[in-house]
Every structure is written in C-alpha cells, then in structure tokens.
Chains A and B, each alone.
Chain A
Amino acid sequence: ETGVTQTPRHLVMGMTNKKSLKCEQHLGHNAMYWYKQSAKKPLELMFVYSLEERVENNSVPSRFSPECPNSSHLFLHLHTLQPEDSALYLCASSQEAGAQTQYFGPGTRLLVL
C-alpha cells in the first residue's frame, strides 16, 4: 500500500458516456498528479495540483476535466472520450509540487469502446 488509492480499478465506457475517476491520498501531501500511461509509450503528465490549485496542464484535451476539492482528493471527469484514450490512468502525490519523490496509486485501467 502506497497511501494513494484509486477507484475504480477498471472501467469500460462508450464514447458518449460520462464517468469520473477518483483518487485519494492519505499521506498529508500538498501536491497531486494525473498521469496517463499507454502501451509502449512513456508516462505522460496530464495535470498537477498544488494545494488544490491547478499549476500545470500539459495540453490535455478538454474531454478530460480534473477537479481537486481538497488536498487529499483528486478527480478526473471523462466525457466523449475516444478509443485512443484507452490507457492506464495513474494518480500520484508528493509533499510539494515538482518533487521527484512521488507516490502512485494502482491506476485505473480504462477501455473506451
């Protein structure tokens, strides 16, 4: 257990569905991250939050919408996704934004049909 939990662990959705991924960290960290990991591709940083404020958005399509209601919770709202969005979505946290010591959740395996 890393202290970072993600739900659901697996998700299948159609292109017209709306779903949300949830992440919770129990480490008292101030920063949280969303990453995307596709098969045979490097880890892609999507969003960074520091104390509930978004500090980085790496040109992610608007069909991905993050939400950070407090420093322990992070959501990724999904709508009208494409099949190429199928991937492992990883949440991580660190003491401060930018730290290279990050603790990851188990990920949500997303399949878009």
Chain B
Amino acid sequence: DAKTTQPPSMDCAEGRAANLPCNHSTISGNEYVYWYRQIHSQGPQYIIHGLKNNETNEMASLIITEDRKSSTLILPHATLRDTAVYYCIVNYAGGTSYGKLTFGQGTILTVHP
C-alpha cells in the first residue's frame, strides 16, 4: 500500500471551507484515494474517493493533483458536526487482505464557532 502523510491537526471556523491535504507521493497508477472520517466514539464514515479526476458528492469535494501525488478534501461549509479525525487512504479498489482498511494517524479537524 502507498503511504499517506497528513497534518496531525487543523482548525476551521464554522461556515468556512475546510481544506484537508494528503500527500501520497508513492501512489501507483491503479490506486484510488479514499477519505473517511471518524467522529469521537462513532464508527468511521466513508466520505468520497477518486482515481484521478476531481470528485464531488453531497458531503465533500476531492481534488487530486495532476501527478496524483497529493490530494485535498474540501468541506465547503464546515459545521461543528464536522469536527472529527479525517483519514486519507490509498489502495486498489478491490483492496488487499480482503478489504482491510488501514487508517494512518489522520488529521484532527476542529471546527470552531
């Protein structure tokens, strides 16, 4: 699996966009970028994934650089409920080890009023 690097923590004001970066410089051609988050004491929540094109859904946007060595998750209008640990994962769509998700340290996003 390609390794990812994320800042340990970030702050964001409520109502502003939260931009969460992830570096994955060793990503291979068939590996996707996945984002999950985990709110305290809850199960992880899938957010979005992409291969090379930018993606958007009702939760967030994913911007992947042209060389695919980094990406940014954008929460367009952060709310207090978006305070969570955000994990960036790089893996093949079929995964490895029967779908084992490997979370790194992630980024603790704190949204302030």
Contact surface of A with B, Cβ cutoff 8 Å: 2, 4, 31, 33, 35, 42-43, 45, 48, 55-56, 58, 88, 90, 92, 94, 96-107, 109
In the assembled complex, 16 residue pairs joining A and B whose CB atoms fall closer than 8 Å, in A order, are A35-B101, A43-B44, A43-B101, A43-B102, A48-B98, A88-B43, A90-B43, A90-B44, A92-B43, A96-B94, A97-B99, A98-B96, A100-B92, A100-B99, A100-B101, A109-B41
Interchain pairs with CB closer than 8 A, number: 73
A109 to chain B, nearest CB (A): 7
Task: Name B43's contact: one of A2, A42, A48, A55 (CB within 8 Å).
Answer: A2
Q: Decide yes or no whether B91 CB sits under 8 A from chain A.
A: yes
The 9 closest A-B pairs by CB, nearest first: A104-B43, A56-B98, A98-B99, A45-B100, A98-B95, A48-B98, A100-B95, A98-B94, A107-B43
A31–B41 Cα distance when bound, in Å, is 24
Taking A33-B99, A42-B103, A101-B34 as known contacts, 8 extra A-B pairs with beta carbons closer than 8 A to each other, sorted by chain A number, are A43-B44, A45-B99, A92-B43, A100-B89, A100-B94, A102-B44, A103-B46, A104-B43
Contact surface of B with A, Cβ cutoff 8 Å: 32, 34, 41-46, 49, 89, 91-103
Contact between chains at A105 and B94 (CB < 8 Å): no
Contact between chains at B99 and A107 (CB < 8 Å): no
A60–B46 Cα distance when bound, in Å, is 25
Q: Hey, which chain A residues are within 8 Å of B95, CB to CB?
A: 98-100
B3 to chain A, nearest CB (A): 14
Contact between chains at A104 and B45 (CB < 8 Å): yes
Contact between chains at A94 and B44 (CB < 8 Å): no
